[in-house]
Amino acid sequence: MRLLPLHFLAVLAACSFSGEPTEDITIAYKVLEVYPQSRWVLITCYSPEAPRPITYSLMASRGVLVATRVVRDDKPASFNINITLKSSPDLLTYSCRASSDLGTYGPSSWLQMYWELWTKPVSQLQADFTLRDGNSGPTAELSCLASSGSPPIIYRLVGNDGRIHAQQRPLHGKPANFSIPLSQTFGWFRCEAANGVSVESSASVLLPPGELPLTPTCILAGSLVSIAAISYGMLRSTR
Ligand SMILES: *[C@@H]1O[C@H](CO)[C@@H](O)[C@H](O)[C@H]1NC(C)=O
Ligand SMILES: *[C@@H]1O[C@H](CO)[C@@H](O)[C@H](O)[C@H]1NC(C)=O
């Protein structure tokens, strides 16, 4: 396991915007589509207190103005942008500002898109099993979601022997759903979430519940977390 290279942290600290971030305006993002070298992202800026109309500006690092939006209702401003992997992480830092009749707001906190989109390990994997009695007999539905980690995240249904029974790549932020027919299957199953940076496994669950396990020693399978590899993106950052 490796920690973030020191120079990467130094770059984050060196990002400069005029003014300290304020709480009166927030910035958030959602990944809409994943391309090999870029991500299509929705960035939202929101200042609930400011009187309308309000003009929002999305700023990139070094004070570059990306776009502006005038909002007359109570909704956040939406910016759809295609963010391309750049060798210099500090070029992928975004912040919101706003202005209305009563004054100016911001800058918001800084969104480090290089980190968010290319180098953030998968974490907070949640796996939920539900038993159902369908037409084709009893099934176990497994829903898996890692609520944090750079896209794309691939989810795998893994048996105790390490065999991959199925895999899915849902839209970023959506869970993978696996269906396991219990009439044909039994044993221990777990969900694994992987991106280019790390792999995380859920605890193993015995299916159907109450059956005698084939290999009782595997009770120890438990929850394992491993940082598997350093992403392509992070390697690029060391150039
Ligand atoms: C974003 O960029 C990719 C290429 O990197 C392109 O294929 C895609 O159409 C672009 N998406 C939008 C919405 O502009
Ligand atoms: C799994 O189910 C959820 C909730 O119904 C849905 O939002 C999600 O897109 C599904 N995932 C896949 C890969 O179909």
pLDDT digits (tens, 9 = 90+) for 53-69: 999 999 999 889 999 99
114 Cα–ligand 2 center, Å: 27
Query: Looking at residues 91-119, what average pLDDT do you find?
Result: 94
- How many Å apart are CA 36 and CA 87, to the nearest integer? 15
- How many Å apart are CA 108 and CA 95, to the nearest integer? 6
Q: For ligand 2, say whether the CB of 68 is within 6 Å of any of its atoms.
A: no
- Flag whether pLDDT at 165 surpasses 80: yes
pLDDT-derived band at 211, boundaries 50, 70, 90: low
> Bridge-partner residues for 238, per DSSP?
none
Mention every residue, 6+ apart, whose C-beta is less than 8 A from residue 56.
45, 47, 68, 69, 70, 71, 77, 96, 97, 98
Range from 16-25, 39-48, 106-115, 170-179 carrying the lowest mean pLDDT: 16-25
Which among 29, 20, 90, 23 is positioned nearest to 60, based on CA atoms?
A: 90
In terms of pLDDT, which residue wins out, 15 or 203? 203
- Flag whether pLDDT at 140 surpasses 80: yes
In terms of pLDDT, which residue wins out, 204 or 232? 204
* pLDDT given for residue 67 in this prediction: 97
Ligand closest in space to the Cα of 141: 2
Q: For ligand 1, say whether the CB of 38 is within 6 Å of any of its atoms.
A: yes
- How many Å apart are CA 18 and CA 58, to the nearest integer? 14
- Flag whether pLDDT at 1 surpasses 70: no
- pTM for the structure as a whole: 0.77
What domains are defined for the chain? Answer: 6-119 (2.60.40.10), 123-234 (2.60.40.10)
Nearest CA to ligand 1 atom 1: 82
**Token pair for residue 222?**
């438990």
- Flag whether pLDDT at 9 surpasses 70: no
For residue 23, the one-letter residue type is: E
- pLDDT > 70 in the chain, percent: 79
Range from 24-28, 114-118, 217-221 carrying the lowest mean pLDDT: 217-221
pLDDT-derived band at 33, boundaries 50, 70, 90: very high
Nearest CA to ligand 2 atom 4: 175
